[in-house]
Amino acid sequence: MSFEWASKKPNDGVATLYESNITLNKSASSHFDHAFSVLLGLDPGSKKIAVKPISKDENDLGAIPEEKRHKITVKPSYARVCNKKFMKEIATLVGVDLGDNKSFKFKTQWSKHDSALIIDLNQPEV
């Protein structure tokens, strides 16, 4: 027999969208272990979100305006970025209702070119 052994660690990055935040699973959050804050970007045409880590050094240089920087909370098994206004924009773009504790999961992929985690709103996680 040819067994494939199951891993406890998820291989695929998944972002869960809530009314007030984006929560990244362990696989997706691994890119933010040393992030001081993040940039949030939205490409409405392709329906993709970019979450780009900002290091403490980049933050201290002050090249990125404070109103563009978002706090990220990184825990051992997940990371979370809160921005209710941004999430409302996402819900409108995708046509989903994030109210009443509803959530939606989407696949993520790290983009070396953009140095950012890309959340593809066209690829819901089932």
The one-digit pLDDT tens for each residue of the chain (126 residues) are 788 777 665 568 999 999 999 999 999 999 999 999 999 999 999 999 999 999 999 888 888 999 999 999 999 999 999 999 999 999 999 999 998 889 999 999 999 999 999 999 998 987
- Rounded to an integer, what distance in angstroms lies between the CA atom of residue 94 and that of residue 46? 11
> How many residues are recorded in the chain?
126
Torsion 124-89-109-72 (CA) sign: negative
Interstrand relation of 37-43 and 21-25 (parallel, antiparallel or unpaired): unpaired
Q: Look up the pTM and report it.
A: 0.88
Which tokens sit at 117? 């985690």
- Rounded to an integer, what distance in angstroms lies between the CA atom of residue 97 and that of residue 89? 11
Interstrand relation of 72-74 and 48-54 (parallel, antiparallel or unpaired): unpaired
